[in-house]
Amino acid sequence: MIFAANLKCNHTRSTFKLYADQLNRLSWDKNNEIIVFPPSIAFLEQDLNFTQGAQNFYPCINGAYTGEIGKEHLDEFGIKCVLIGHSERRKFENNDFIKEKFDFAKKYGFKVIFCIGEDIKTKKENKTNEFLRKQLENIDLKYDKLIIAYEPIYSIGSGISADLKDIENVLNFLNSLSKAKLLYGGSVNENNIAQILNINHCDGVLIGTAALKIENFIKLIKDNSC
């Protein structure tokens, strides 16, 4: 199983160091992969027993891109995994730019967690699959380091995850489009994680709020890893 934690704009370098130290003390079966996306200012250089990923980057090696982070900066921390397409970033990034980021990440061999998800209006209009297909149409669905995270916007940070049946239908649909591993994200917590991980084609979870405190994240991993 994949347990990915998106810390968003939470944790500083000093608090993330404590977070990482606790995670580093754990061991887990190699069937499981733990990925944590800290804020980039908090990236750590030390040896880690989990994958440290980047929430964001600019598709450049380096250059005149004020305020951005390029590949060179990720390389310095050994980062080989990036998040692309999160709904909180899609507010600032159009499909062309998202494609540019994906192509760049693919060119340099990064593992990509590519987030997709519809809003409640699209869901109510029964247009979910059509919408998700569009979000995926510009990227290489055969890329061997691609992981797709289904994160319906209405469930992110709301405390209420999507309906299990809806998740199952979407994961089945995504599996018909791509053989990439599939994650679900959106208000995953200790009450729903086991049922979510049990869904056909679900290879793991992308967790925000419930992974902010390291003891909570560790409990989710310990209780549900295989």
By beta-carbon proximity to ligand PGA, the closer residue of 6 and 128 is: 6
Whole-number CA gyration radius for the chain: 17
Please pick, from the candidates 185, 197, 204, 218, the single residue that binds ligand PGA as defined by CB under 6 A: 185
Residue tagged active-site, from 86, 93, 168, 201: 86
Binding segment for ligand PGA (CB under 6 A), chosen from 65-73, 123-131, 135-143, 200-208, is: 200-208
Work out how close the CB of 149 gets to ligand PGA at its nearest, in angstroms, rounded to a whole number. 7
**Residue 2 found at the interface with ligand PGA (CB under 6 A):** no
Work out how close the CB of 49 gets to ligand PGA at its nearest, in angstroms, rounded to a whole number. 22
Tell me how far apart the alpha carbons of residues 154 and 134 are, in angstroms, rounded to a whole number: 18
**Residue 122 found at the interface with ligand PGA (CB under 6 A):** no
Tell me if residue 86 is catalytic.
yes
**Residue 36 found at the interface with ligand PGA (CB under 6 A):** no
By beta-carbon proximity to ligand PGA, the closer residue of 71 and 193 is: 193
**Residue 52 found at the interface with ligand PGA (CB under 6 A):** no
**Residue 85 found at the interface with ligand PGA (CB under 6 A):** no
Work out how close the CB of 223 gets to ligand PGA at its nearest, in angstroms, rounded to a whole number. 17
b or e along 164-181 (b: 16 or more beta carbons within 10 Å of the residue's beta carbon)? Answer: eeebbebbeebeeebebb
Residue tagged active-site, from 33, 118, 151, 168: 151
Work out how close the CB of 8 gets to ligand PGA at its nearest, in angstroms, rounded to a whole number. 7
**Residue 182 found at the interface with ligand PGA (CB under 6 A):** no
Tell me if residue 73 is catalytic.
no
Residues 132-151 within binding reach of ligand PGA (CB under 6 A): 151
Residues classed as catalytic: 86, 151
